Structures are given as C-alpha cells and as structure tokens.
Structure 1
C-alpha cells in the first residue's frame, strides 16, 4: 500500500508522467495505470487450498497417539517433532519430515489456541551473546540427579555452548562465562541475560537495572555490555530460549549417564561442536561452523581469564574448620580463632590469610559434612598425641604405604602414638617427600625404630660436601719450619710484661 500511495502521489499531486514513474519504480506502465484507477493493488485469489503431502497408512493416527502420550509427561521430557519423526521412521514411515512437523504444529495449536506473534530479530557479527539456564536430569555415578545447565549462543553464527553445574550460584555463573568465552575464543560486544539475583540486584519501575558488583566486575574485565531483558519477555533472547528446548531433546532425552560432572561436560562440549555442522538457518548454503569461523575472526581478543570466585570473610572455629554452604573445610591449626578470606569457585574452595593461600579444597555439594586435611591438625598432635588414634581427621587418612606400615607398627606398642607423631612433625619440618623416602628405605632395611628413621632423614637432608681437588693443588710451604724454644720463651715474657 505504501508503494501505491507513493505512485498516486507522484502522478496526481506532483504531476509526474507515467513513463517516469514506471522507470523509477521498475513497474510496467500498465501496472502504474491500474494503481491510478484503484487505490488498492491487484491481489491474487487462490482458487483452491494448496495440496499438501499427508501422513498415510495410519501414521497420522500413530503420530497423534505419540503426541497424546507426550502430553501426559513432564514438559521437559516431551519429545520434539524431530524425535517423533525418528520414532515413525523406525516404525516404517517413509515420508519426509515436513508433514510430521506441520501435523505436530496443528495439534499444538488446537491444544493451546493460536500462537503468539513476535518481531524477528537481526544480529550483526560479534554483536551479541545470549545466556540462559535450564534444569535437566542426568545419571552421574549411577545416581539420577538434577543439574543446572548454562546455555550460551552467539546470535549471528548460532554457535551453541552448554556446560552443566550442580547449581546456579554466582560462582557458577562466573565460571560458565569464563568457559564460554574460552570456547568461542573471543569476546562479543554485548551479552543478553535474564534478571536473576546472581546478575541483577534491582529492577526499578523505569526498568533501570543495578547489576551485581561481582557480575559487573566480570563484564568490566572482558569489556562487554550487559543487557537485561524486560521481565517476562523471553522473546528478547529467543535464540537461546529455543536452544534450551532443542538441546533438551537432542542431548538430555534419554538421560545421559557419566561417571562424574567432568565427563558430562566433556561430552557436552563435543556435542556442541557436532551440532555446529548443521546448516545455518539464514545462510542455508553454509554450516553454523563455517559462519562461526568468520565471526570468530572479528571477536575481540580474549586476554587473561577472569578469576571467577565469590569471596566472604569467615571465622575459623576452634576445631580448625570454616563453613560454606552447609559444609565445613579445614584450615591449618595456627589460624584457629582468626578471620580469613574464603573464595568459593565453581569446583574448589580457597582459604586466604592476607596475601597467602593457606588451604585449598575440592568443592563439595553434600550437606552438613566436614572435610579434613589431616596435615592441618598435625601440629596439635605435639600436645595431644593420643588424638592420633580417634581424631576425626586421622580416621581415613591415606598415608604412603611405607608410612602406613610404620604407623601400624608403632601403634601396636605402648607409646607408639608419640613416636609416630614425632615422625609426622619431622615431615612438617623437612617435607613429606623426604620422610616418605626415608620410610621406604627403613622398610627395605627392616629398621623401623624412630632413631634409625631420623638418621636416614638426616642423611637425606645433610648438604653434600664437594670433594677437594687433586693433592698438587694444595698450598705448598716455601720455608721448612724449625724448632726454636726461644720463640716460646719470648711469647711468655711478652704476656707477663705490665701493660
């Protein structure tokens, strides 16, 4: 209609000729004349509905049955149209995928009414990265459990990246961004996110955002602009929203099974690379991976990785433990009663005093469990050697084989706990490697008594004396000394003389 109005205005108002208007618009003069006669453009009227390929041989009934079965399942376990098509193919269906897709779409519309309408979005290369969370079920170590999956998608090339975590806490968010940018090999201009508390602390009525300081530090480190969507407007990051549903059917149905979370994440990374070999939705002659290679060349250099931890100050208990997220971790005994800094990463806990790292533990996601490093408590055994037998940190202590054998030998006799504590204190002074070597030698020589082991340790730590050179390099006397008693008398008289 805009073109018709423009043509009518040029001729009827500005007085331009039909020939000049036809030349300017590329339309024929007959078409321009038709527009002058009627203010609405000619339209084509379909005489009959288009012929479409239909599901035959009873597969439409089977497809409707599968769809109805899925409607009774939890939403995250429902199969996509692609999965239902693969099911029909396994049962003998020889048609194409398009009729199945249209049939499922019609069933969904009949079930929920007409779909919502959205405005298509366009993103230039390196312009934006979208981020979202999803919750999936997997089998880890033979146990079915829920995991949180961080989804990333480069908007121009459509390159996906996903990584799984036990939760959605802030240190997981920071770690996920570090991994994603490392995967893409560069930094885009913007990141489009939701409004979770781990990233956005306040949304005003005017929709201004106050971002969490730690998340803002991440953005400042990589010089990215964070863009938070309007609340309840997921279409503003529709690519990653659709990716959640697509990858749920591709990667998490049926449930994947791995020994641990690291194995799952390695597999997810490989699958993301494989899925990038699909055709690009807008550039059908190229794959997502090919478009991504062009986009990666324009991404800003990554630089040094962000140190993605969440920090808090905690007080060390008298039991040499600090608490984080319902679990307790040990620190060296000399810090009991002091305040230290606890840095929580996605996979580890680091304790810092001043500028020094005093302890580091693997991050645990159990509840109400204490995790000990026995060496943190060894100095206390100097005053309380009896705690070696029943102390919680020493119950399941995995010592080197030779030290374990010596421990059993000492503990079998009276006062053996004191002797083994002395050996442990030597390990603190000289290092566990030296003491372990000495214990290995003691076991080989069958000399398990403490003085013998101490002697072996001293032999290992004593400095090596460099042998002197050949005899002819020694200094030589140039004058032969002669015996002279008068020299002695002269020295004695000099001492007796008054000062």
Structure 2
C-alpha cells in the first residue's frame, strides 16, 4: 500500500509524469497507471498448483462427483472416502490435493454454502441421551434394502449405540430402547427426541407435548424424562444429528453386506465399541470410552427389561388365522372364532387368550405370507384326515426325513390318511424326536405300516419297570438246579405210543 501511496502523491501532488515516476521508482509504466486507479490495497489469491500425481486421476474423481451429484445427500461420499477410492486405483499422492479438488469442483458447480449459527450446548454426565432415526442402504441376503437405523448418543461422553430395523413402528422404537439401555448398562435422566408420531401425539405451544400413551408406559418403567425438541430445531439434539452423517460414512459406506438383521446388529454393536476408542471431541486427552466409564455409574440401573409390544384385539378366522400387517399367522384350532389379543414386538407375534399366550410366531416383514404351526391344526385332522394331503400347514411342514419317508409309504396304503394322523396325535404327546426314532426303526425292519410304527413308538415311550426280587419260601427252594435233557421228551413220546 505504501507504493500506491507514493505513486499517487507524486503524480497528483507533485505533478510528475508517469514516465518520470516509472524511471525513478524502477517500475513499469503500466504498473504506474494501474496503481493510479487503485483506491484499495490489491489482494492476491494464491492459486494452488495441480498435483502432478492427481492429474492422471482427475477424470475418475470428476466422474464420481458428477455421478454422486444425482444421489440423495445421505449417499454422498466425503472427500476422504473419495481419496480412499483413488488409493485403491493406485493413487499415491496426498489427501490435501484431493480435498482441494473436491472443494473447487463443488464451488464451481454448486456455489458457496451459507453457514448457519448455533448456540453451543453443555451436558453433565448421566443427564441426557439423544435419539434419532436414519435410513441406510444395506444388502441383506443378497437383496438391496433400505433399513431404519435407531441412533442413541450419550450427550456427555459421546458414547453411541445404533441398531437396525425393517421399520420405524412403535414396537421397534421400544425394542431399540431395551437394547440401548442394556448396552449402556443403565438409563439416563432424560432422552431427547424429534416430534415423532410414535413418541409425540400432539405438539402444543412451547415445550408442551402430549406423549403417546404406550411410550409413556415405557418411560414410566425406566423412569426417564422424555423431552421433545422445538419443531424444525434439530440443533437441540445436534450431536445425534451429526452422528447420523458420521455413521453413514463410517459403517454404511461402502455398502454393508450381511445375511440377516441379527448379523448386522451384532456387527453394529462391535463397531460401536470400537469407535468408542476415538478421542473425545472436547476432552482431547481422553477417549470416548474412558469418559463413558465415568458416566456409566451415574446411570439408573435397569432392574427389568420393558415388554415393548403393541396390542390390538382381533377375531380368529374359521381357518384359525389372524391377519397382521398383510401377513397371516396361525392360532390353535380351539380358538377359532374367538376374540384374541395380538401383541406385536420387534421380532415376534404373540396371540393371547384369557390371559395366556396360546401361540407365538417369528414376525414376518414381507407381504402376503402364511406363517403356520401345523400342530395348531392337529385337532382338525381327527375329523378331517383328508386335509393332510393338501392342507397348507402340512404341505410345507419340514419334517425329518425318516418321518417323510414313512408318511409317503403310509399315504399310499388304504386309509393311510387316518393312520398317519393317529401317529401325529401320539407324537403330539411324545414329541417328534420319539416319532423320528420309531420311523427309523420301522424303515430298518422293512415292513412299513402304521401299526408297526405305533408299536415301535409305544416301546420307546413305555416306562422301564425297575427290577424287583421276588421272595421265595425256604421250603420250595431248589437244592439242585435241573439240567436240560431232550431225551426225556423222547422217552415220554415213546411211553405214550405204548399205551
């Protein structure tokens, strides 16, 4: 700025010509003319040179950025993930070069981003835990699915817990709380939520809310205070909001592949423990795990897990089925036509009648499934044995191979339906293991029919009598044990011929 001042003073005050100023100050005349027009100090922007190592990979990086610009924001890779992708292709340059390229590309194609201001928050140990849902892409059993991931974040220690579900229904959120409190080893004083329909039924002025009744039962069981954020104010639980993005990068990019939800959730628990070894964001000398070790004793102990089911009343159809979420589940034949209570949990369907659980099934999340227990229909077979051949519960019944072989042979015989039904009724009392052994013994002997199987089965289940010694009077005790002599038989035959 001092050079500009000197040039302007000489020309405007001392009336020196441009040539004289250039000659005396040792600069070019175009520079003098430029500085005469300048009123502010010129600013120079440093232009970062293109990395020679990155140059050959720019085409791949540009292609990835263009393709990912078409994806939802939660599927985008960070600059570091792109850097790791280039490393797999042979790039051995620095991460800074990739970061600068990505920043420049986004600025040229999307323009500068506005920064929103927030109020910093402070939490004490054991006080608050934040909750949120996210949708992630996972390959389960070879099929690409969108799973719903429940996120928990202890606000003081930053200890996280995540668990995946096929849906975001109320029974899922209650099961997620059970798992989270078991993982944390206790319950915090408050849990902070969005205004989820499964948590909040009505939003009133300020912080006043009407919480879901079933959700309040869970809160009363664990004795924590539910807190709902102000609408459209996600910064009030900013830690878990930020965790959603981090977890997507750390765990679900690239695509995670598992066979079942159980395997996925076991892996997520392991990763949560591993990520706790990272440095705490505000206590740089400590890890998240060590901070949580201080916080964990301040949590309220869990005395019993909450039975997080959603209940609805239904009537059992004449085919002994109840319909739940477009799937059908079997009920014992004795309950046909009755009103029952159906309790849906995250992984089970329980049917309750007169205060007792009369049926339980693993929950199905596909559509139009028929989930049957063949034993529920056994009383019907006594009156309708012909249903054994084409009845849906029995055609898909995965019986042991020995029983299947015997069944196929018996059904080919006259009145084989009723005969095999009698075997199943007896097996209902003894169990399939005993019937399986009986069928194996029958197949070994080579004569396969219902009476033989029934005889083998009764021999297996017959009680074994203990050996009892019979007392013998002294007067009839043998002093000499008789010897076997077949000649005596011949002698008797001869004497009979004489007479």
Q: Give how far 1:448 is off.
A: 2.5
Return closer, same or farther for 1:95/1:352 CA change in 2, 3 Å cut-off: closer
Q: Give how far 1:451 is off.
A: 2.2
Q: How does 1:378-417 map to 2 (within 5 A)?
A: 378-417=378-417
Return closer, same or farther for 1:284/1:430 CA change in 2, 3 Å cut-off: same
Q: Do residues 359 (structure 1) and 359 (structure 2) align?
A: yes
Q: How does 1:84-95 map to 2 (within 5 A)?
A: 84-87=82-85, 91-94=91-94
Q: Give how far 1:446 is off.
A: 3.1
Over the residues paired in the alignment, what is the CA RMSD in angstroms? 3.1
Distance 2:95 2:405 in 1: 71
Aligned partners of 1:131 and 1:193 also within 8 Å = yes
Aligned to 1:330: 330
Deviates more, 1:453-462 or 1:304-313: 453-462
Distance 2:200 2:295 in 1: 29
Aligned to 1:25: none
1:395-419 CA-to-partner distances (Å, cap 9, x unmatched) read 1211122211110011122221111
Distance 1:195 1:358 in 2: 37
Equivalent residue in structure 1 for 2:81, among 78, 83, 87: 83
Gaps of 5+ in 1: 1-46, 477-499
Gaps of 5+ in 2: 1-40, 476-499
Distance 2:332 2:285 in 1: 61
Aligned to 2:485: none
Aligned-partner SS, 2:147: strand
Aligned-partner SS, 1:177: helix
Aligned partners of 2:188 and 2:300 also within 8 Å = yes
Aligned to 1:72: 70
**What TM-score results when the alignment is normalised by the length of structure 1?**
0.79
Aligned-partner SS, 1:277: coil
Return closer, same or farther for 1:238/1:105 CA change in 2, 3 Å cut-off: farther
Q: Do residues 229 (structure 1) and 229 (structure 2) align?
A: yes
Return closer, same or farther for 1:143/1:297 CA change in 2, 3 Å cut-off: same
Return closer, same or farther for 1:112/1:359 CA change in 2, 3 Å cut-off: farther
Runs of 4+ residues deviating >6 angstroms: 47-53
Distance 2:50 2:450 in 1: 87
Distance 1:437 1:89 in 2: 60
Q: How does 1:299-378 map to 2 (within 5 A)?
A: 299-378=299-378
Q: Give how far 1:372 is off.
A: 1.3
Q: How does 1:1-80 map to 2 (within 5 A)?
A: 56-57=50-51, 62=58, 67=65, 69-80=67-78
Return closer, same or farther for 1:422/1:102 CA change in 2, 3 Å cut-off: closer
Return closer, same or farther for 1:385/1:475 CA change in 2, 3 Å cut-off: farther
**What TM-score results when the alignment is normalised by the length of structure 2?**
0.79
Aligned to 1:479: none
Deviates more, 1:269-278 or 1:423-432: 423-432
1:445-481 CA-to-partner distances (Å, cap 9, x unmatched) read 3343222322233333333322324637x999xxxxx
Return closer, same or farther for 1:344/1:440 CA change in 2, 3 Å cut-off: same
Aligned partners of 2:83 and 2:95 also within 8 Å = no
